[in-house]
Amino acid sequence: MEYKKLNNNEKLPFVSYGVYEIDPKDTKNAVLNALNRGYTAIDGAQVYYNEKEVGQAINESEIPREDIFLTSKNWVSNSGYDKTIKAVNKSLDDLQTDYIDLLLIHQPFGDYYGSYRALQDLQKDGSVLSIGVSNFDSARLVDLTMNFDIVPQVNQVETTPYFQQYEANEIMNKLGVAHQSWGPLSEGLDGLFKKPVLLEIAEKYDKSPVQVIFRWLVDRDIPFSCRSVKTERMEENIDIFDFKLNKNDIKKIKELDEGESPFNDYNDPETAEEFNSEII
Ligand SMILES: NC(=O)c1ccc[n+]([C@@H]2O[C@H](COP(=O)([O-])OP(=O)(O)OC[C@H]3O[C@@H](n4cnc5c(N)ncnc54)[C@H](OP(=O)(O)O)[C@@H]3O)[C@@H](O)[C@H]2O)c1
């Protein structure tokens, strides 16, 4: 699997298998299936409530632990120095592993300064190899980097044809923070897979519109996390390394950019309330 080198020289595979909203009873088989289909990275989180099952799958698979890139995310209700240390140790237990490859602060809410201090210490003791944040807009990201010694390795933010994040990408590149995309398909909202521009490019390369979206991210040097529980789609979603978009294709896809998320507005008080209300 092709990868992006992080600012600490760790290697983040371009494709991660996301386990958001996969029922715990289906998670072990889904992850085993993904690993057997060639996925080398699993993108999980405490708040997905399926870390035990991810751990079981990794443990039962024939693949050596060091060949799997494992991500977890620390939830808002576990923010603050002490709670983060405790929560990450629980993730390590649930995932049945001695280390997590990438630990992200899941949301820019709660005491994330305390959490980031904890992540720096966990990284120093080897419990986590890389640290970062998720859903941090550019101002929050700049603020964080100006107040800590360790520049986050990753910022995982929603990045899709509808929300292309060019400005945020420029700032992340300037800071040396790797931009990772979540939810790249916008769950197929508003007929995304039937947009003429994607159909036209897909036809040219004999690929599907979904593969064009994933390749568009790779060609922008943006690793991503995607999810399907269906074997055929799992295979389709990683079969993207035998073609390449040109500059003109990428320019054409810009016409789909709406400049904002169809799901979350991080400046909406209701978003802050919603994420602070989920206690895990
Ligand atoms: N950091 C964050 O705050 C955050 C937030 C959201 C997500 N994430 C991460 O990003 C991952 C992906 O996001 P997501 O799960 O919300 O959405 P997504 O990957 O954009 O879309 C998933 C949906 O697309 C469908 N799908 C997948 N492959 C397809 C294909 N080839 N053709 C047609 N439909 C396809 C899936 O259906 P089927 O399963 O039925 O195939 C599923 O309903 C998550 O699992 C999680 O790891 C992170």
Q: Identity (one letter) of the amino acid at 69?
A: F
Which pLDDT band holds residue 55 (cuts at 50, 70, 90)? Answer: very high
Residue nearest to atom 21 of ligand 1 (CA): 187
Listed residue (125, 145, 149) closest to 133, CA to CA: 145
Predicted pLDDT of residue 198: 98
Residue 223 token pair:
């690793």
Q: For a substitution probing ligand 1, which of 106, 226, 266 has the most ligand atoms within 8 Å of its CB?
A: 226
- Spell out the domain ranges in the chain: 3-277
Q: What is the pLDDT of residues 112-148, one digit of tens each?
A: 999 999 999 999 999 999 999 999 999 999 999 999 9
What is the mean predicted confidence (pLDDT) over 24-49?
98
Give nearest CA residue, ligand 1 atom 36.
228
CB 211 within 8 A of CB 239: yes
Band of residue 98 on the pLDDT scale cut at 50, 70, 90:
very high
- What element of type H or E holds 204? helix 196-205
Mean pLDDT, to the nearest integer, of 186-196?
97
Three-class SS state of 277: helix
Q: For the domain made up of 3-277, give the CATH fold.
A: TIM Barrel (3.20.20)
| Among 17, 39, 48, 112, the one annotated catalytic | 48
Q: Once rounded to an integer, what is the mean pLDDT over residues 45-65?
A: 97
Looking at residue 222, what is its pLDDT? 98
How far, in Å, CA of 111 to CA of 33, rounded? 37
Q: What is the pLDDT of residue 14?
A: 98
Mean pLDDT computed over 221-249 = 98
Whether 39 is catalytic: no
* pLDDT reading at 1 higher than 90: no
pLDDT at 172 > cutoff 90: yes
Q: From atom 37 of ligand 1, which residue's Cα is the shortest distance away?
A: 228
Between CA 129 and CA 106 the distance in angstroms is 17
> What's the 119 CA to ligand 1 centre distance in angstroms?
27
Average pLDDT over the chain reads: 97
Alpha carbon of 183 to ligand 1 centroid (Å): 5
Which residue's CA is the nearest one to ligand 1's atom 26?
Answer: 228
What does the pLDDT average to over 211-228?
Answer: 98
Distance CA 40, CA 17 (A): 8
Ligand 1 centroid distance, CA of 27 (Å): 14
> In angstroms, what is the span from residue 184 Cα to ligand 1's centroid?
7
pTM (whole model) above 0.85: yes
> Pocket around ligand 1: residues whose beta carbon is below 6 Å from it?
18-20, 43, 106, 134-135, 156, 182-185, 187-188, 210, 225-230, 233, 236-237
